[in-house]
Amino acid sequence: MNVKLVIGNQNYSTWSLRPWLLLKAFNVHFEEVKVSLAEEGLRERLLEHSPTAKVPVLIERDLHIWDSLAICEYVNDVHLEGKGWPHTAKDRAKARAVTCEMHSGFVAVRGAMPMNIRAKRKVNITPAVAQDIARIEAIWADHHRSGWLFESFSIADCFFAPVAFRFQTYGVELNEAASQYQHKLLAHPAMALWVEAALAEDGILPVDEAGEPV
């Protein structure tokens, strides 16, 4: 197989989920290489694949791409003939804006609510976390009539997929329209495959075990 994707623990690694989901959703064949983030010598093991010692990394022949959004853009260009983004320039601009909002923002939610698929937990909702949740709820509630954020499943949906798991783990309640979108994401067949693999793992990352079990 030409395309290889190096990912972290599927229970925890949000950045890995995004390009993995894009490749699966569009049936791009790839070899998956999983590196445990919970074992000794992590930096050295990650440096074998990536100059940043982070996952995900996409490898195709002599090319190594070490950032989730850069990977999705490459997959869109080279393997999807542009189908990873909506087809109008206006929707592509909006899709990129919400994707970049996720890629570089929502720091409070990302810090307080690590993805932890196997858990059901409760965390303190600070005003900053509540503000992030409200913004995500507004983006989700404004979804397209297709049920996805835009006319069909896109990179923007991949970027919000980990949040669907986070909100499930921490019992975040959403308005009707946003909740419909969350369920649409959770029901994607590739998301079910990801959960199955996450539940089969036993590595624990203490830093991502936030809050109290419920």
Ligand X SMILES: N[C@@H](CCC(=O)N[C@@H](CS)C(=O)NCC(=O)O)C(=O)O
- Which of 69/129 has CB closer to ligand X? 69
Tell me the closest approach of the beta carbon of residue 40 to ligand X, in angstroms. 12
Q: Check residue 116 for interaction with ligand X (CB under 6 A).
A: no
Which residues within the stretch 44-83 sit at the binding site for ligand X (CB under 6 A)?
53-56, 67-69
- Which of 8/86 has CB closer to ligand X? 8
Q: How far is CA 44 from CA 38, 52, 61, 115, in A?
A: 13, 11, 22, 24
Q: How far is CA 28 from CA 18, 21, 106, 138, 156, in A?
A: 14, 10, 29, 31, 18
Q: Check residue 14 for interaction with ligand X (CB under 6 A).
A: yes
Tokens of 203: 């590595």
Rounded to whole angstroms, how far apart are CA atoms 181 and 142? 9
From the list 3, 6, 8, 167, which residue makes contact with ligand X (rule: CB under 6 A)? 8
From the list 10, 13, 154, 169, which residue makes contact with ligand X (rule: CB under 6 A)? 13
Tell me the closest approach of the beta carbon of residue 53 to ligand X, in angstroms. 6
From the list 23, 37, 95, 102, which residue makes contact with ligand X (rule: CB under 6 A)? 37
H or E stretch at 203: none
- Which of 42/193 has CB closer to ligand X? 42
- Give 203's contacts (C-beta < 8 A, 6+ positions apart): 9, 11, 36, 37, 38, 39
Q: Which amino acid is at 134?
A: A
- Give 40's contacts (C-beta < 8 A, 6+ positions apart): none
Q: Check residue 15 for interaction with ligand X (CB under 6 A).
A: yes
Q: Which residues of the shown chain bind ligand X in the complex (CB under 6 A)?
A: 8, 13-16, 37, 42, 53-56, 67-69
